[in-house]
Chain A
Amino acid sequence: MKRRDFIYLTGMGTAATLIPGIPVVGRPIDPMQLLESIDLALKKRMADVALNAARSKGATYTDVRIGRYLNQFVITREDKVQNIVNTESYGMGIRVIANGSWGFAATDKLDNDNIAKTAELAVSIAKENSRLLTEPVQLAPQKGHGEVSWKAPIEKNAFEVPIKEKVDLLLSVNDAAMKAGADYVNSLLFMVNEQKYFASTDGSYIDQDIHRMWPVFFITTIDKATGKFETRNSLSAPVGMGYEYLNARPQDKIQGVTTLYRGRYDMLEDAKAGGAQTKEKLKAKSVEAGKYDLILDPSHLWLTIHESTGHPSELDRVLGYEANFAGTSFLTLDKWKSKNFNYGSKLVNIVADKTQVGSLGAVGYDDEGVKCGRWDIIKDGILVNYQAIRDQAHILGLNASQGCCYADNWSSVQFQRMPNISLQPGKEKKSVDDLIKGVEKGIYIVGDGSFSIDQQRYNFQFGGQLFYEIKNGKITGMLRDVAYQSNTQEFWNSCVGIADESDYRLGGSFFDGKGQPSQSSAVSHGSSTARFNGVNVINTSRKIG
């Protein structure tokens, strides 16, 4: 993604800093154009022009991605609509291997002449790059799929919902939060449709239709007497779903000390709770630093999984391709080869899965035409695998890619990105109450907050949205100023309990950044509530002046 393509959404206040960037790629369009699609036969013809042109110039492999990327963003604060943005980005990216090297070029001018010229440019770049080549690209074999398609199994296309209905929902959300005690509230609906067509010289012509959405709010409440303020962000998750995500039924709600959501989300109800909880947070007890047993809700734990399992098991980081930016990884190949690297306790089973329904990472095929699947990363606490693409599979002794290739736009070159990475539920029947019952001195954390981890993914610090003190098996009240610090291996080895499948939920990130120039991808992480013993909790309050 290129900096100049960003349309930065404005006016979201302090809380917006909790979302890194919020880049929107594309040019603004009429909302009606969001319901259009490109003729399939035309896409095949354009792809063939590129494949033939590259082959005639000496490419030994070519893939073509024709992408139409659509976004809609509705942004409000209190009783005002601040912005409604509809964008489209449409074009073609051509990737080739020539002289054993990769080359890539992209264009938004899709006439035959220009497509052929772009393919030729990709070949000439590959040949130029081959002069600095140390070893030729080795691609894992991939059979052609012929002409196939995949559509996200959504119930209601969010782009078909009138903007007025979305604006009315957000303004009622804001009103509910204000009536419950909030001083300020910003709310947004992010909606994405990726219409992607992939063709390659392996004989694949793959048409895919992917939908994502994220309803989100940020509430701030101020204590005028002390001048202090507290915030509470929505407990929603970004999802690979349509507008049905906002239609929560009674069975989608988990009642407890705060209401949690499984698969569907009640934004209005959560805003009302959030308004009241910011007031409660202002009066909450400041945490005493020390060791606590933590009970982590999936709305929180997804981010810890993302940072401490998802990123270190990316094979490109392990190999050093991200050394200059995101960093490398402590999960080095020798640890994997040993077959006994103790990443976590025996309860810890972590899988990669690009097929999970409703997840952000779910697609039929990745961006190099590999059919997506599911595999173990951590099995009974031991590191057993990574996340790889076609030109990395041989390093792991695999004869097929794991299907982790993704580009955030037709103009970006595809590379290894994280699939959904999830902690598997406990095998024994166990509820959240069962987990809390056994804790003498602990904290129950709901929602994601501040996050930071080192460049090899050892040392991390996480905050949250809601913190509840647990004493002798019971929740006794709210805490504030809480953050925990740990080391990845220590933390996952301190996992002593995971609730069963009935508690399993997905969280995720809409804007996971990696690469130079930076690209953003969306990924989900599932888990049930889990218990971690003896984790170091710090107090984050400071006095200035």
Chain B
Amino acid sequence: MAILSKDEAQQILKKVIGFSKADGIQANLNGNDGGNIRYARNSVSTSGEDSNVGLGVQSYYGKKSGTATINEFDDASLEKVVKRSEELAQLAPENPEFMEPLGPQTYGGESKTWSEQTAKITPEYRAQAAANSIGPASKKEVTAAGFLEDNRGFNAMMNSKGLFAYNKATGVDFTVTMRTNDGTGSGWAARTNNDVSKINTADASAVAIEKALSSRNAKALEPGKYTVVLEAAAAADLVRLMLNMNARQADEGRSFYSKKGGGTKLGEKIVDERVNIYTDPWHDEVPSSPWAGDGQARKRMDLIKNGVVSNLFYDRYWASQKNVAPVPFGGNTIMQGGTASIEDMIKDTKRGVLVTRFWYIRPVDPQTLLYTGLTRDSTFYIENGKIKHPIKNFRFNESPIIMLNNLETLGKQERAVTSEGNPNGLIPSMKIRDFTFSSLSDAI
């Protein structure tokens, strides 16, 4: 039941719209099937599967709206949920920022977000992923902990203005941490994709084991400003922090994208001219749904072009206030990379630090996008073009804006994984000068 086809979803939604007696109605129908496996201490700790499908209905009278949901789809249930949303709308206070739903939109065809292979993941596949970590770990005095989660789902929406949108998508996320049994080394690797055939859990586990073993007995290095080579995961951890490019907050004067004296930084150069970041629902490697949550069509759009702010996101209400076209949030992020490998960047570094990833990153000052956090799971000292030895973890206090002004080299793009969730993106590894490490951590 959970994955309805376009026709099945359309049929249910048409019935829902037909029951409406309000000024207008919008209905969202979503379903998801998924499974996961978690392991630690070289043993599986939990695993499970789940499935759900739900219908949300928003009715409105003028600027008053009400929402109700249901997970049964016979005619009586559909009529009941519409009626309840209408009752709640009558009771709601007016929202002066309420926008009527959009009319019909054109989305440019089927998205690339579905993978039949991922949709067919079985409990055996998940158990094998765990075994791919636990087996090799136990042969090398290393302890594995990891998590694999997969899902397949669909989203559909229809409203009384004639809009209908449908998309189905799959995804799989895998993370693994390997710690040496003596507690002196730790390594990590992560993979994410729409298409499970493009990820290899055994390969990721081997990378994490190698990092754990080579990070044993780290030495302390004085905190300060260092040239850093950021692996793609570390780069993605920081680049994602500058992408909340909300026009309203900027116009209101309370974001990094606000301009002194009023207005926004749209059109201003904020980072190195080699920085190009864009969103594109049709990208082969990181496809996204071709429509945003409110039904607006997504298209390829520059966010940062040659270091200059090219677009900010305008919701429909704010766009109407500013007399501009609305700009929906993108469903993915692509940062153009270069050709350098991690090894090339190390070779070019006289004195620096190689970072696997960051952890516990939190905002310190929203005005400068200053963030703090720590390196985690293998950090190395580079001297005269070679990795010299593992080093203890550092705390950093740095802004991605300052970091991308100090860009030395762009490496190859990778599917982005970060320490707290995987954005749908491609981010390159990179070499940065004068990165600020402010203190040492004893954590391994």
Within 8 A of A (CB), among B211-260: 244, 249, 252-256, 258-260
For residue A2, which residues in chain B have a CB less than 8 angstroms away from its CB? 34, 50
Kindly state whether residue B296 has any CB partner on chain A within 8 Å. no
Bitwise, B354-369 to A at CB < 8 A (1) or not (0) is: 0000011111111110
| Chain A residues, Cβ within 8 Å of B376 | 454-455
List, in ascending order, chain A residues with CB within 8 A of B261's CB: 224, 227
CA distance A224 to B262 in the complex (A): 8
Are B145 and A540 in touch, CB under 8 angstroms?
Answer: no
Cβ-defined contact, A325 with B147, below 8 A: yes
Residues of A with C-beta under 8 A to B92: 84
Q: Report the bound CA distance from A385 to B151 in whole Å.
A: 40
The reply to whether A454 and B359 contact each other, CB–CB distance below 8 Å, is: yes
Is A530 among interface residues, defined by CB-CB distance under 8 A? Answer: no
Chain A positions within 8 Å of B47 at CB level? 125, 128-129
A82 within 8 A of B: yes
Which residues of chain A are within 8 angstroms of B333 by Cβ–Cβ distance?
none
- For A488, the closest partner residue in chain B by CB is B442
Q: Which of B156-164, B195-203, B394-402 contacts A (4 or more CB under 8 A)?
A: B394-402
A483 at the interface (CB under 8 A from B): yes
- How far does the alpha carbon of A411 sit from the alpha carbon of B34 in the complex, in Å? 14
Neighbour of A324 across the interface among B32, B175, B441, CB < 8 A? B175
Summed over the interface, the residue pairs from A and B with CB atoms below 8 Å come to a total of: 203
Known: A4-B30, A227-B261, A540-B364. A456 touches B443 (CB 8 A): yes
Residues of A within 8 A of B95 (CB): 80-82
Taken together as a complex, chains A and B put the C-alpha atoms of A522 and B261 apart, in Å, by 42
Residue of B nearest to A541 (CB): B365
Number of interface residues of A (CB under 8 A): 75
A106 to B48 CA separation, bound complex (whole angstroms): 10
Chain B CB within 8 A of A30 CB: yes
Tell me how far the C-beta of A447 lies from the nearest C-beta in chain B, rounded to whole angstroms: 15
Chain A residues within an 8 Å CB radius of B365: 481, 540-542
Complex Cα gap A144–B54 (Å): 38
The stretch from B35-43, B107-115, B382-390 touching chain A is B35-43
Contacts of A475 in B (CB 8 A): none
User: Shortest Cβ distance from A118 into chain B, in angstroms?
Assistant: 12
CB atoms of A80 and B374 under 8 A apart: no
Q: With the chains together, A13 CA to B249 CA distance in Å?
A: 7
Chain B CB within 8 A of A198 CB: no
Question: In the complex, which residues of chain B have a beta carbon less than 8 angstroms from the beta carbon of A17?
Answer: 244, 363, 366
- Whether A82 lies near B97 (C-beta < 8 A) is yes
Q: Which residue of A lies closest to B256 (CB)?
A: A544
Please tell me if the beta carbons of A485 and B260 are within 8 angstroms of each other in the complex.
no
Q: Considering the chains assembled together, what is the distance between the CA atoms of A130 and B244 in angstroms?
A: 45
Contacts of B146 in A (CB 8 A): 324
Cα separation A75 to B33 with both chains bound (whole Å) = 31
The answer to whether A485 touches B177 (Cβ under 8 A) is no
Pair B366/A454 contact, Cβ less than 8 Å: no
State whether A321 touches B361 (Cβ < 8 A).
Answer: no
Contact present for A102 and B46 (CB under 8 Å): yes
Q: A134-B43, A540-B397 are in contact. Are A323 and B443 (CB under 8 A)?
A: no
Bound: A485/B252 CA distance, A: 32
Q: Complex formed: what's the CA distance from A84 to B67 in Å?
A: 10
Is residue A472 contacting chain B, with contact meaning CB distance below 8 A? no
Option from B42, B270, B367 in Cβ contact (under 8 Å) with A134: B42
Does A14 touch B at the CB level, under 8 Å? yes
B residues less than 8 Å from A536 (CB atoms):
439
Per-residue interface assignment for chain B, residues 277 to 310, with 1 indicating a CB less than 8 Å from any chain A CB and 0 otherwise: 0000000000000000000000000000000000
What 5 additional pairs, Cβ within 8 angstroms, besides A540-B370, A544-B256? A4-B153, A227-B253, A461-B364, A542-B370, A544-B399
- Of all A-B residue pairs in the complex, the 6 with the closest CB atoms, nearest first, are A227-B260, A459-B441, A454-B443, A456-B443, A323-B145, A324-B145
Binding site for A on B (CB under 8 A): 30, 32, 34, 36, 38, 40-48, 50, 52, 54, 56, 67-71, 84, 87-88, 92-93, 95-97, 123, 127, 130, 143, 145-147, 149, 151, 153, 175-177, 179, 183, 188, 244, 249, 252-256, 258-262, 270, 359-368, 370, 372-374, 376, 393, 395, 397, 399, 401-402, 438-444
